[in-house]
Amino acid sequence: MRDMAEDRLAAARAALAAAGGDALIVYNADPHLSEYLPARWEARQWLSQFPGSAGTVAITADRAALFVDSRYLVLAETAMAGRPFEVHLAGSADPAPHLTWLARHVSAGGTVLTDGMVLGLDEQRALAGRLAQVGALLRADIDLIEALWLDRPAVPCEPAWLHEPAEAVVPANDKFARLRQAMADAGATHHFISALDDIAWLTNLRGRDIAHNPLFAAHLLVGPEGATLFALPRAFDSGAQARLAGLGVQLAPYDAALSALAALPTDAAVLIDPRRVTWGFRAAIPASCRVIEAINPAALMKRIKTAGEIDGFRETMIEDGLALVRFQAAFEASRARGEHWTEWQVHEALTAERARSPLFRGLSFHTNAGFNANAAIPHYSVRPETALAIEGDGLLLIDSGGQYMRGTTDVCRVWAIGTPSAAMRRDGSAAMRGLIAMSRARFPAGIPGPMIDAIARARVAAE
């Protein structure tokens, strides 16, 4: 039977040739540059059939490649076996192998196509610059996948709800006042925001448009006085609409953001974050406007937590900790009865314990419960049909978390099942020593993360 990925790859190549392109690059991204995507924007997964939640695909007339980081390498090699995709690893030696691959396989005078509405501005500059070195061009004004993906899901529109004062702590009016002050300090008259977490934080509204994330799909354009939220109005009930009206925020259709940017006054000074806005929206801003590039002020503001927010985190960790303890008690009791749960049953039981909390609002990501060899697979995703039985000696890794009214958890634990081997005890102890060394380290502000990681690895290597 012909693989679905082969059919879709053939259709994409035909569309690429018809558009006059020499290569197509499909990112794992949406117009908000979210880490986790609504189904509508899972174009990379639709084309390649690679199930991982991260990765990039590039194709030419005769080659196709999937680029992943180390978390997904084992999954990619397994899932893409027998499919017409090369698998390439992004790492310290080449953090952007898709750029290297395109520069190697696109000739001078060639054109690379991609969807600029999901192409980050920083990435667009890196891609265009790399292609220019070999005399190739980037065209980012076309979405080839849209015409091919006939049953493509719609823009998500789950109901949004109020994050009440007891949970949000800081009133939304205060946040907008601080935001406008930051805009004034930067010399901006307008500020365009696509990052969903920043929008939810500013408005004190929450949603369910992305699995495991309390966010709603929207863009926000803040002016000197009022603001416009570009979203699907039916997602907001009377309470949410009243909240927005009280903030001086009017609702507009989700797809009207581009035209609103294009209609900005000629003397506008627009603040955007190049790491959190796409090329498509940047290109819509009139050339007469002054563009100020800086980190979204909301992203900086929300990093400093109030005493009330910190109390909320403590409350959240207590609720989650109770769920973990109850789960552990049930798990150990089942083992004492001679039962052998599967990895999937671990996921179900732990989810059920978290759901007992009145503050629980859902998982913060799909539970990764892996036993022995599965525990060594980064971002292993357990499924009922492939779940291992937890029996015999070994190690059980559970990486899980929950969304609560006042905070989010992400907890990783490794449990000894039966009698761990000497190698397991040695490796576990070495990893703990590395973590302790890193936790105790003193380092300069602004140091890159890999340099801190090296402290932990050096301690482990010394064992």
CATH classification code of 161-301: 3.40.350.10
- Say what the pLDDT of residue 1 is: 43
Retrieve residue 127's tokens.
């891609």
Q: Are 117 and 280 in contact (CB under 8 A)?
A: yes
Q: What is the mean pLDDT of the chain?
A: 94
Domain 307-420 class, CATH top level: alpha beta
How do residues 196-250 score in pLDDT, each as one tens digit?
999 999 999 999 999 999 999 999 999 998 999 999 988 899 999 999 999 999 9
DSSP 78-147: HHTTTSS-EEEE--SS-S-HHHHHHHHHS-TT-EEE-BGGGSBHHHHHHHHHHHHTTT-EEE-B--HHHH
What pTM does this model have?
0.91
> Residue 153: which of 233, 39, 50, 234 has the closest Cα?
39
Burial of 20 (0-12, 13-18, 19+ CB in 10 A): exposed
Query: Residue 2: what pLDDT?
Result: 59
Q: What is the mean pLDDT of the segment spanning 265-271? A: 97
Residue 214 DSSP SS3: coil
Say what the pLDDT of residue 148 is: 96
Domain 161-301 and domain 307-420 have a common topology: no
Give 309's contacts (C-beta < 8 A, 6+ positions apart): 169, 170, 406
Identify the residue whose tokens are 């001679």: 338
Round to whole Å and give the CA distance between 325 and 331.
10
Q: Indicate the CATH number of 4-148 among 3.40.350.10, 3.50.50.60, 1.10.3720.10, 3.40.1190.10.
A: 3.40.350.10
- Map out the domains of the chain as residue ranges: 4-148, 161-301, 307-420
In the chain, what is the straight-line distance between the N-terminal and C-terminal CA atoms, in Å? 51
User: What is the C-alpha separation between 337 and 355, in angstroms, rounded?
Assistant: 25
Tokens, residue 317: 């960790």
Report the distance separating Cα 294 and Cα 298, nearest Å.
11
Mean pLDDT, range 354-368, rounded to an integer:
95
Model confidence pLDDT, tens digit, residues 281-325: 999 999 999 999 999 999 999 999 999 999 999 999 999 999 999
